[in-house]
Structure 1
Amino acid sequence: MRTPRHVWPLLPLGTGAMLLAVGGRWDIAVAAWIFPVLLLRFTRLTRAWSGALWIWLAHLAAAVFWVQESAIGFNAVVFTGALALAALQTLPFLADRLLTPRLRPAPAALVFPAGVAAAEFLINLLSPFGTAFGSLAVTQHANLPLLQVVSVTGPWGIGFLIGYVASTANRIWDSSSWRGGVVCTAVLLSVLLAGGARLTLSPPQGTTVRIAGVSPARTVTERLQTTLARFADGPGGVAAAPATAVRPAMTAVEDDLLAATRREAAAGAKIVIWPEEAVRTQESQESAAVAAARAQARRSGIYLEIGVRVYSTTAPAYGRNEAFLIDPRGTVLWTYQKAHPIAGSERYTPGDGHVPIVRTPYGRLANVICQDADFPALMRTRADIMLVPAHDWKEYGAAHTDKAVLAAVEGGYALIRQDAGGVSAAYDAEGHVLATSDYFTTGRQTMVAYVPVHGVTTVYDRTGDTFAWLCLAALAALTVTAVVRPRRPEDR
């Protein structure tokens, strides 16, 4: 089988569209629906294995593009991961190419969407980036009617729908029969109508609580960054440095955060959240830093969530990334350690991934740190308000915060993400933006939101990744059916 010349433009067109649907700052939502149509068409008109090789290279290019546009930092670990993830993303295209000629039209239409959902699920299980890369759902974060489906299926449901549209479009392209298109349109409209009905008929209501997110002023932050940059050997050097060399800059940040907390508490905030690594302290000074925060929570009568970066001389981690929740009596209710450090750039030892929950007059509060929110299994917890201290950077902060809305809808809780060096946002359980603030457009980043104190129970919270497992099972069943079914003359 020789590939016709008119087929080759589909590859660069599909790849180009895919670069705008990778979960980065330049995403265009509609591109996520376009590129699978074009690339699937390409694979159906080429040899199975040569076509799969081209699709793998296209996905590899998309992974490299995501790393570069997000300024994550390219190294051997990241490149190896990109090779593996591209291979997983190629499997749905290869499965469609090999299985659909041996299946009847109706089951054949399910091969690609089931494969997309299954591949995304496997990527989430295996990748150190969770849904930050490899999930088509994150590209649709602003489409609230569509986004409601993740409260039932998890993020894999959106990948399935996008794959179903691509498969149906190619079926129409192949046979000019619109029967499959009518069914696909009915399914997609049903999902959108159901999502719209959920937004309209069951809006978040009831009691709210005022929550303030505060980050240190840029002046004290930059002074601390300059101080820490003097130690070429990194966290170990900071940990071993004389206190007089680092403590003044660290204390200035702490004092600024405490002053901002007093201000927001006086304005009526009942919960205040600091970002990830807001406080940076040597291990010997950690207890003093936490004690100051406890005293402030007690004086202001608030719940105070603080992010702390502890510098230790113990290799190889040289420290910890922690979050503390302090109640109005000054009692530490939990100490949580980040469970998913960023691969290749964060070296500290991961926490156990047990999400802490406490009951308060403002509902059940829970906590994870930054990238932890990219792992749906970790985020499935019976909470009313999820606190997410985070610390991103200019190129990635907005895109990363946009993705957090999925966790709120999946879990049925409000989510507050306070991001130092990025965009902070507060979402309700249906994904509405309650407040937002950009660190790079304000002299001081403070975010205030009135947040519902009661969450909702979602199907996804109860059933977990059942939909994803069903897609894996369906793909296996379709494979067996295709293998044992005799090929008809028209198939050949």
Structure 2
Amino acid sequence: MGIPLLENRTSPAGARPAERARRRRYALLAAGTAAMLFAVGGRWDVPLAAWLFPVLLLRFTRTTGPWAGTLWIWAAHIAAAAFWVYESALGSGPVVLAGAAALSAVQAVPFLLDRLLSARLGRWTAPLVFPAAVAATEFLITLLSPFGTAYGSLAVTQHGDLPLLQVTSVTGCYGIGFLIAWSAAAVNGFWQEPSRPSARPAAACAAVLAAVALAGGARLALLPHDGRTVRIAGVSPARTVAAAGRAALARIPGGRQGIAAAPPAAVDPATTAAQDDLLAATRREATAGARIVVWPENAVPAQAAREPAVIAAARAEARRSRVYLDIGIAVYDTTGPAFGRDETVLLGPDGAVLWTYQKAHPIPGSETYKPGDGRVPVVATPYGRIANVICYDADFPAMMRVRADIMLVPSHDWREYGRPHTDKAGLRAVEGGYALVRQDADGVSAAFDGRGRVLATADSFGADRQTLVADVPVRGATTPYDRIGDLFAWLCLATVPLLAALATARSRRR
């Protein structure tokens, strides 16, 4: 009975080596988890944290049993996902919670693969397991889950690093995840065995990072656009008008179904107020020189029977002001289970309807719209090829590979998520080589050129009326990513089983 008492009184400096090692391991886990909280694609992101947390968590798993370590990494990712949900004010519905747990399990897989395979591979191949697996899992999340790049992409944490961001024009956003994970594996290799031979793979990684940064800087400096621009204005309803409309609709019981079936007199005042306010703003910006005007997602709420009148009024304004006018309409109809549509309509300067587009990716757990067909409309104009998606659609890189010069993204977010969601959309501009204009009601609107440079921003919470005005390049550039698609991601996905086979073969030879 005396021995335990003596051990309890022993100072930390005198603890057994195994106990000290265990404490160091869990200190790494705690520090890595804390850093990861600020690298989740939220409003409190710190770009450096995205480079730091994989180093710490990878060191933890390499010094811990593979299965116990993986369970802890899964728990760490669940904590990060929960923090993202909290800082983004997403709520805690069952779809959100189940999605967070599932994505966290997928994100833990690269750590498990590294733990199982890297020790059985050579000095140069071992550091490739983790980055290939990270890029592959990011790709699979985007490809197979309903969440796209909204969560789980390391690239979105680096949206302000324009030289680094240029690599996405070749690899897509998965290239940045690969580079971050590769640097973590290289650092850990040297940390585990600090010798001259171990330093060589780390030096190779550093050289590649430097080359990427230099090439990205050269692309920004040496490949400017040709100077031709068009003025684009994004207009949202005045906050008082939007608030009054939401209050009027909220008084109608039964949600979307109830609004669709309500007497027109209960819905028309909200429709008319939003429509008249936006038409006046369109006229004002056209007079000031705008040639393209964008309304946000769901800018005008309208019952299905009222939609033709809304479009007719917008057509008349497009003819009067001689502008291309992209309008967002929340249509309420009595057909279940969606009871409505989330759509945009592009009108030409002659009033012609050039497209009617329905949102292809309703937000899981919060939007019940029937998805559109996912075909991105493109129209040739004197100001280049104009295309359009709606809000969450821009979180799916494969859908955004479109030969266009200007991409319009009418959106509708909320205070806590508006800015990071717009920052994420900016990555699509670099990948696709086109200018991107995101008009976001209840969020931050922004215009980007094809290199990801911010041309203008407007915060809907900074004034009673949000208006975005930007002179946008009319000529985009075809990027390698636009031509080869997700080839880099597929190569990473194929590399993982190849490295597993190589590790198995080396183990058998030993």
- Tell me the TM-score normalised to structure 1 length: 0.98
SS of 1:211 mapped into structure 2: strand
Distance in 1, Cα, partners of 2:180 & 2:226: 32
Q: Where does residue 491 of structure 2 map in the other structure?
A: 470
Aligned residues: 489
Q: Where does residue 125 of structure 1 map in the other structure?
A: 143
Within-5 A mapping of 1:359-398: 359-398=380-419
1:297 aligns with 2:318: yes
Q: Where does residue 5 of structure 2 map in the other structure?
A: none
SS of 2:326 mapped into structure 1: strand
Unaligned ranges ≥5, structure 1: none
Q: Where does residue 348 of structure 1 map in the other structure?
A: 369
Distance in 2, Cα, partners of 1:387 & 1:486: 53
1:186 aligns with 2:207: yes
SS of 2:439 mapped into structure 1: strand
C-alpha deviation, 1:204, in angstroms: 2.0
1:148 aligns with 2:166: yes
SS of 1:485 mapped into structure 2: helix
Distance in 1, Cα, partners of 2:270 & 2:106: 46
Paired residues of 1:27 and 1:139 also in contact (CA < 8 A): yes
Letter in 2 for 1:100: S
Paired residues of 2:344 and 2:358 also in contact (CA < 8 A): yes
The Cα offsets for residues 263-291 of structure 1, whole Å up to 9 and x where unpaired, read as 00111110000000001100110000011
Residue 456 (structure 2) aligned to one of 435, 445, 457: 435
Q: Where does residue 225 of structure 1 map in the other structure?
A: 246
Paired residues of 2:253 and 2:259 also in contact (CA < 8 A): no
Within-5 A mapping of 1:107-126: 107-126=125-144
1:402 aligns with 2:420: no
Paired residues of 2:357 and 2:377 also in contact (CA < 8 A): yes
Residue 258 (structure 2) aligned to one of 228, 237, 243: 237
Q: Which runs of 4+ in 1 moved over 6 A?
A: none
Distance in 2, Cα, partners of 1:309 & 1:341: 13
Q: Percent identity?
A: 65
C-alpha deviation, 1:116, in angstroms: 0.6
1:20 aligns with 2:41: no
Q: Where does residue 436 of structure 2 map in the other structure?
A: 415
Q: Where does residue 188 of structure 2 map in the other structure?
A: 170
SS of 2:92 mapped into structure 1: coil
Paired residues of 2:28 and 2:56 also in contact (CA < 8 A): yes
- Tell me the TM-score normalised to structure 2 length: 0.95
Paired residues of 2:270 and 2:301 also in contact (CA < 8 A): no
Q: Where does residue 218 of structure 2 map in the other structure?
A: 197
Letter in 2 for 1:413: Y
Residue 138 (structure 1) aligned to one of 143, 149, 156: 156
Q: Where does residue 4 of structure 2 map in the other structure?
A: none
1:159 aligns with 2:180: no
Paired residues of 2:132 and 2:496 also in contact (CA < 8 A): yes
Paired residues of 1:23 and 1:136 also in contact (CA < 8 A): yes
Paired residues of 2:135 and 2:178 also in contact (CA < 8 A): yes
Paired residues of 1:262 and 1:300 also in contact (CA < 8 A): yes
Paired residues of 2:139 and 2:174 also in contact (CA < 8 A): yes
C-alpha deviation, 1:179, in angstroms: 1.5
Deviates more, 1:130-139 or 1:176-185: 176-185
Residue 45 (structure 1) aligned to one of 63, 80, 97: 63
1:70 aligns with 2:88: yes
The Cα offsets for residues 27-79 of structure 1, whole Å up to 9 and x where unpaired, read as 00000000000000000000000000000011111111111211112111111
C-alpha deviation, 1:488, in angstroms: 7.8
Q: Where does residue 54 of structure 2 map in the other structure?
A: 36
The Cα offsets for residues 332-377 of structure 1, whole Å up to 9 and x where unpaired, read as 0000000000100000100010000010000000000000001000
Distance in 2, Cα, partners of 1:12 & 1:6: 10
Distance in 1, Cα, partners of 2:72 & 2:25: 13
Distance in 2, Cα, partners of 1:110 & 1:143: 24
CA RMSD of superposed structures (Å): 1.1
Distance in 1, Cα, partners of 2:243 & 2:461: 13
Distance in 2, Cα, partners of 1:230 & 1:13: 48
Residues 1:121 and 1:184: Cα distance change in structure 2 (over 3 Å): same
Paired residues of 2:405 and 2:475 also in contact (CA < 8 A): yes
